[in-house]
Amino acid sequence: MTAISTLFASPLSVINVGAQMFAQDVEAQNQKVTHLDWRPPGGGNPEVIAALDVLSRTDVAERIAVANAKAVERIVNSQPILTGYGQAIDVVPGMTKKTILHAGPPIEFERMAGAMKGAVTGALVFEGLAKNVDEAYDLAASGEITFSPCHEHDSVGSMAGVTSASMFMHVVENRPYGNHSYTNLSEQLAKILRMGANDQSVIDRLNWMRDVFGPILRDAMISAKEIDLRMMLAQALHMGDEAHNRNNAGTTLLIQALAPHILDSDFSTKDKQDVFNFVASSDYFSGPTWMAVSKAAMDAAHNIEDSTIVTTMCRNGVDFGIRVSGIGGNTWFTGPAQVVEGPLFAGFTKADRGLDIGDSAITETFGIGGFAMACAPAIVPLVGGTVSEAIEYSRSMRQITTDTNPNITIPILDFAGIATGIDVVKVEQTGILPVINTAIAHKDAGIGMIGAGITAPPLETFHKATIALAQRF
């Protein structure tokens, strides 16, 4: 009897590497099999593998390790403080009356997704630059409006991210490093501009936010002086938030801190009641706040020579873009925006979905949101999946990050810190992509949010960054 015949005549114990279908075939034969989830580094791309060889050289790897340790130190030691609210024209660097900031990497109006075009045209009507949406569309396409990514103005914006001169912004100071970040106020979760809606009800709400909501918050913060957002964020995660799509605790904590100062303001009782009712209409009031926190921390880690840490992940509904600390500046590595998989609201189908959009992935870049879903089992019905999968997301993100952040911890994982410092090299070596949980906007302008779910960046953004990093060495 040959050796191979003897092998198949006895019980098998198989280790399968690669395609899982082979393990399933062995299991179908009632044999013991262990599947190893492995994929070639760099997705098997020869150019990327060559770049990884450069980055793994001893001298280069040592320089990267030192730089990444410095970057993570700056992320962990960041202490974002809410110092005020002000109109974009007064606080955002580079803002003008004819500037429209948007989410994601740079994009021209003609290429924008439906939701972003809807938000742009609505903002132009809100600013009084156009009488109606049709006129606004012509103006947006005329070349008279300056379009620029929020991220290139120390800012971030939810979903379409459209920010115009009159909108009120959070002003967040990163106390140890002196940098600032900005983001506009939540419109809550109705038919809203950031989701691409732009009818008169949307404009009316924006007018009220400009004339009442923003000024009340501004005056409240003049009285409060400052709010420690890092401490508040850590507490919110311990209370069941992940601070991207679930913000029940964070919103409660933030409005609790602001409430005495709102009540002491000179506005009418009705205006104050309207503000409290508006905040109570949705838990998303604090969502933009945590985006500004994350932006402040990640900007502090940007522009560190030799670092392979991702400091920005964002999308505009057409392109997904990342920035890397060691490349610095406004160098973007882009790939196609991805589909978001998750539950849709009644009446909508997969054909209605727009592609991934928004700057809110700055939360995952920092280590909350999808990275912290183990804190928030109640988010599962919104984005899909199971509680065990939510916990596994938080565990698996440790494989592609440099360290953990001891200031913001996850109770169910023995109070381990959130995974911090996405490393381009580790993403390439493991094939594990950062997980992002996010809302889903309709593909067409004027409709708004239709669901929520899970997505990830396109791998090619990391391929491009890896090759560019290797070229620097």
Instruction: Tell me which of 86-100, 116-130, 233-247, 378-392 is least confident.
Output: 378-392
The confidence band for 385, taking pLDDT boundaries of 50, 70 and 90, is confident
Residue 58 has pLDDT above 70, yes or no: yes
Mean pLDDT of 226-253: 97
Contact assessment for residue 184 and residue 156, using Cβ atoms and an 8 Å cutoff? no
CB burial of 320-350 (b: ≥16 within 10 Å; e: otherwise) equals: bbbbbbbbeeeebbbbebbebbbebeeeeee
For 201-217, write each residue's pLDDT tens digit: 999 999 999 999 999 99
The confidence band for 8, taking pLDDT boundaries of 50, 70 and 90, is low
Mean pLDDT of 305-323: 98
Strand pairing category for 319-324 and 333-336: antiparallel
- d(CA 282, CA 284) in angstroms, rounded, equals 5
Take residue 75 and report the two structure tokens written for it: 């992320």
Take residue 87 and report the two structure tokens written for it: 């109109």
- d(CA 204, CA 7) in angstroms, rounded, equals 76
Residue entry with tokens 């420690």: 228
∠ Cα 258 281 454 (to 5°) = 100
Provide the CA 394 distance to its chain's centre, in angstroms.
15
The confidence band for 177, taking pLDDT boundaries of 50, 70 and 90, is very high
Take residue 2 and report the two structure tokens written for it: 């040959």
Take residue 145 and report the two structure tokens written for it: 């409006």
Residue 42 has pLDDT above 90, yes or no: no
- d(CA 375, CA 114) in angstroms, rounded, equals 34
For 423-432, write each residue's pLDDT tens digit: 999 999 999 9
Mean pLDDT of 330-336: 98
For 399-416, write each residue's pLDDT tens digit: 999 999 999 999 999 999
Distances (CA, A) of 274 to 188, 213, 269: 13, 8, 9
For position 36, what pLDDT does the model report? 72
For position 54, what pLDDT does the model report? 97
Residue type present at position 369: G
Provide the CA 156 distance to its chain's centre, in angstroms.
9
